Structure formats: C-alpha cells, structure tokens
Structure 1
C-alpha cells in the first residue's frame, strides 16, 4: 500500500506536462514553478503552524532549494535548451545518482539488479520520448545533469535527515515547498508576469498547487520516510510514461513500436527495483 501511494506522485508529475501546455499561459515556466510550490508550502505552514528550529532552518532551506527551487529552475532551463525528450531522459537518470550516494550517506547497500533496473529505465524513457536526429547542445546537457544531481541529492538528504522529533512529515514538506518557491520568486523579475489570467489558467495553477504539490510531494516524502531511497527514486520514471500515455489519449499523438518497447522496459525496471527493495527491507527487519 505504501508503495502504491508513493507511486501516485510520479503519475501526477506526468500529468503536469499536459496541464502546463493546455491550461497555462505560454512562456511562463518560472511562474508555473512558483505557483506550484509556494502556495502549497504556505498552506501547509498555516495548517501546522510549525517552524524549523536550530539546525533545521539550514536543513529546510537546503532541501527546499535542492528539491524544489534549484531543481525547477534547472529543469526549465533544460527544457529551453534541449528538446523535451532529451531532457526527460537525462533527468530520469536521477535514480543512478541516488544509488551512488546511498551507500555513502545512508549506509545502505545497492544491489546489482537495482543498478541494471536504473539503466534499463533510462533506456526505456529514451525509447518513449526521443526522436531520431534530435540535436544536443552542451549547455542544455550540463543543465540537465545539474538538475539530475539536484533531485538525486535532495532525495538522499531528505531520507538521511528525516524530520525533527514530534514534527509531522507534511509540515517538513511545507518548509521545503515554501523555501523552494521563495528561491524561484526572484527569477520572476526576469520572466515577468502575464497581462491577465483566464479561468482556464487559474484552474491550471490550482491543479499544480493542490495535486502537483500538496498531494504529490506529501505522498512522495511520506513514501521516502517509509521505504528505501533507491526504490522510491526508481518510481520517478513513471512520470514520462504517464506523460506519453496522456499525449496519446488526449492529443492524438502516435504510439510507436519503439515506444511500446520503452514502456515495457520502464514498467519492468520499476517492478524489478521494487521487488529487490522489498526483499532487502525484509532482511533488514529480520536482522533487527
């Protein structure tokens, strides 16, 4: 059940692409990031009325910037510099970053099957979203690499630090969303604001706040607290699979044989990773 609830998060992230393209103003990616994170964070702060204390001020800022602010900014820069498919492939490598950091920062063992699953998942995402002859540029690749390192590192740090004693996980999520949204806000000076918002725009921003942030990040960090970091990180490849499926269903996009193979690879990689992770957790529980 915990695994299924956590898997809701990458599914909702996969829906944000179609919401952004169909419901939000054009060329306002930073505003979308701010509206996704900051209102949700402030709502959680108002609900729980708990602020960080001591070292947790630093931790909350670091987690907010790495998991939300810097990651969103780099992701938007990647999307600007690279075709969307390439950006999705490079950022889908975040589980591999988690696998590199987990033994060092979490003291957990990474299994060969998990590494293979991570590599297969990246290949599956590539089959889903990359078109032949896609052009690359070094700036975009570097931005995507930085975004990948950000999200992988942020996930491991969130797992390592957990939450302060007596503080609900959702409150800590609120801290991250608030600081992440605040980190993005100054960039609006360069992007500017739309002249007006339609009812569709407002509905889209509301969806990003409630579903894309409150629900998604609440379940994500809850799952991270209960499951191992590698298993959680590998769920993230469900996001491009969802985005592809929605494009086929609602935008009439073609679904090729190569994409079908990629879909099978992604699903298979996720299943293998979760089975290996579940067995590892059982062994750890038995030793305890």
Structure 2
C-alpha cells in the first residue's frame, strides 16, 4: 500500500472517533440518568481505563506519571465533563457545533508548539468549517444557555490542548497504544471520582436503558474511540486530526433528525457539504502537489520534551 493510501486509510479510521462522540449527545439525553455529567464522565473513563491497565500490566514511569495525568484531564476528564454539561444544557447539534471550533485553536497551537506551518488552506478550512457548522444549526428555534455555551467553548479548548500535547510528547517506547490509552482513561477517572462523589447524588435506580447507555460510553465512546483517536494523532499532523472532529456535529445533527424527529433543512444539508470540504482541505497534501503559500512560526522546543521528535513519529505499536 502506498503512503498516500495509508494516510487516507488512517484518516478514515481516525474519523470514526468523532463520529462516535457525536452520538454522545443522543446517548446522554435519551439513555443516561438526567443532570449527572460527572457520573457519566467518570463511568465513561474509569472502568475502561482499569480494563486496559489490567490487560497491558504496565504503569507509567518517570515524567509519564504527570504527563499521563495532564493528558488524561485534557483529552478525557475535563473535556468530557464540559461535553456532558453542554449536552444537557444545549441542543445536541448546537453543543457539537460550538465545540467543533477547536480546529481553529489547534492551528495556532500546532504552529507555536509543534512547528507545523500555518497554511493559507488551513485558514480557508477554518472559515469553511465555521460557516458550515453555522448553517448546520440555522434553525428557527435554538435555545440559548450561557453555562452550556461556556462549557462547549471550554471543551473545545481542552480538546485542542490535548491534541497538541499528545502530538508533542508522543508515546513512550515499549508502551502499546491500548496501554497508553488506559493511562489517560484511568487518570481522568481517578481525578473525576472524588468530584462525582462529592457533587452529585447517586441515581435512585438504574434502568436497562441506563445500563446500555453506560456500556456504550465505556466500550465505544471511550476504549475503542480513544485508541483510534490517539493512533490518528501519532500518524497524522495535529491540524489534520483536529479537522476530523468536525464530523461530530454532523453525526449529532443526523441522529437528531433520525431519532428525535428534529428538522433537517436544505441549509443544514449545505452546511454538511461545506464541513466535508473543510475536513478535506485540512488533510495532508498528497506528495507532488504544489506547495501552498504559508507562513511558518519557529519555536524553541521545550527542554523537558524529549518529544518534539517522538511526538511526530509515524510508527504505531
């Protein structure tokens, strides 16, 4: 298989993760106990993390104790708390749309901390992505909730920072991708556990739908999707990965239409097409194409980052 074909395959597989996350809004509002974002996030992270640790039988060493904690909080813990808060307070499509602003943050962070070039095509993709998601939620009745909006923006910032640091620090040698994912899920779950126990009550009872919803979050929404996501971050440029997250609001909107009888207008269909174009423009250029005029920011690598090089490696165990 050629390098171009491998890149396209990796891109397609990585895009499955935000597609699954786009269904989180439906799962949260239809299957989980209401108004318990900390419970949903803790159950999503901790069981799957412990299962992966039990399988891998390998704990972090040295600097990876605190790095795993930071990545776990940004990629999973804080991100998912904010995602669930937004999901409970905003219509699913609106929440996903606001959080999909994160490619704009990654474009800047990748230039500052990863040495990735600021390309004109990335600026164009950001504009198209923003326009596409605005069209996607161009409905006559859209509720506004300040807390939900702030949570969605915070989630976008967490995701952008998590992508950038995951790419910068890479994955330690000799550690499998599933174990690396398990570190982060467990770290996120352990940070969230005391918060959940102190701030939220236990549900009076769990229904069969609740159990199914939690199982979905653990297996698909955490373990499998994060393994796929971190694999993509290793093999693709950070900016390219960030644009794949735009698939989340598309899936959320389609599920709202198919399952909750929400409207799907011509403007929304146009928005989906524009989002698809933005995702395509955000991906790596095939070899041999004329370079896009760009401005490059040079930064001095972090002294504690053994990293900038390992973060950009292309091999994946």
Same fold (TM over 0.5): yes
Matched residue SS, 1:194: coil
Identify if the C-alpha distance between structure 1 residues 74 and 17 changes in structure 2 by more than 3 Å, giving closer, same or farther: closer
Q: Secondary structure at the match of 2:59?
A: coil
- Corresponding residue for residue 214 of structure 1: 223
SS in 2 for 1:144: helix
Q: Which residue of 2 aligns with 1:242?
A: 251
SS of structure 2 residue aligned to 1:196: coil
* 1-structure distance, mates of 2:205, 2:44: 18
In 2, the alpha carbon distance for the partners of 1:171 and 1:278 equals: 33
Report if the CA contact (8 A) 1:85-1:126 is conserved.
Answer: no
Structure 2 CA distance for aligned equivalents of residues 215 and 127 of structure 1? 31
Structure 2 distance, partners of 1:191, 1:171, is 30
Give the structure 1 partner of residue 71 of structure 2.
Answer: 63
8 A contact 1:2–1:226 mirrored in 2? yes
**CA-CA distance at 1:162 after TM superposition:** 0.7
Greater mean alpha carbon deviation, residues 59-68 or residues 114-123: 114-123
1:121-200 correspondence runs (5 A): 121-132=129-140, 134=142, 136=144, 140-188=148-196, 189-200=198-209
Distance 1:279 1:210, change over 3 A: farther
What is the rounded CA distance, in whole Å, between the counterparts of 1:128 and 1:91 in structure 2?
A: 13
Asked whether 1:205 is paired with 2:214, we answer yes
- Counterpart of 2:234? 225
Aligned position for 1:261: 270
Structure 1 unaligned segments of length 5 or more: list them: none
Contact 1:99 1:230 (8 Å CA) reproduced = yes
Q: Residue 45 of structure 2 contacts residue 188 of structure 2 at CA under 8 Å; is this kept in 1?
A: yes
Name structure 2 gaps, 5 residues minimum. Answer: 1-8, 293-313
Q: Tell me the TM-score normalised to structure 1 length.
A: 0.90
- State the TM-score, normalizing by the size of structure 2: 0.82
Taking the TM superposition and a 5 Å limit, the aligned residue runs for 1:47-62 are 47-62=55-70
Residues 212-267 of structure 1 show CA distances to partners (whole Å, capped at 9, x for unaligned) of 01110000000110111111110001011011112222222221111111111111
Match of 1:251 in 2: 260
Shift in alpha-carbon separation, 1:141–1:173, aligned structure 2, 3 A: same
Contact 1:14 1:243 in 2 (8 A): yes
Matched length: 283
CA contact (8 A) 1:228 1:277 kept: no
State the shift of 1:20 in Å: 2.2
Q: CA deviation at 1:209?
A: 0.4
**Alpha-carbon distance between aligned partners in 2 of 1:71 and 1:78, rounded to the nearest angstrom:** 11
Is the CA contact 1:86–1:130 (under 8 Å) kept in the aligned structure 2?
no
What is the distance in 1 between the residues matched to 2:146 and 2:257? 31
Is the 1:128–1:262 Cα contact (8 Å) retained in structure 2?
Answer: yes
Q: Are the aligned partners of 1:85 and 1:130 in contact in 2 as well (CA < 8 Å)?
A: no
1:130 positional shift: 4.8
Q: Relative to structure 1, is the Cα distance of residues 143 and 11 closer, same or farther in structure 2, using a 3 angstrom cutoff? A: closer
The answer to which of 76-85 and 202-211 deviates more is: 76-85
Secondary structure of the residue aligned to 1:41 is helix
Indicate how the Cα distance of structure 1 residues 53 and 247 shifts in structure 2: closer, same or farther if over 3 A, else same: same
**Aligned alpha-carbon RMSD (Å):** 2.3
Contact persistence 2:100–2:248 (CA under 8 A): no
Check whether the contact 1:23–1:203 (CA below 8 A) recurs between aligned residues: yes
How far did 1:89 drift?
2.6
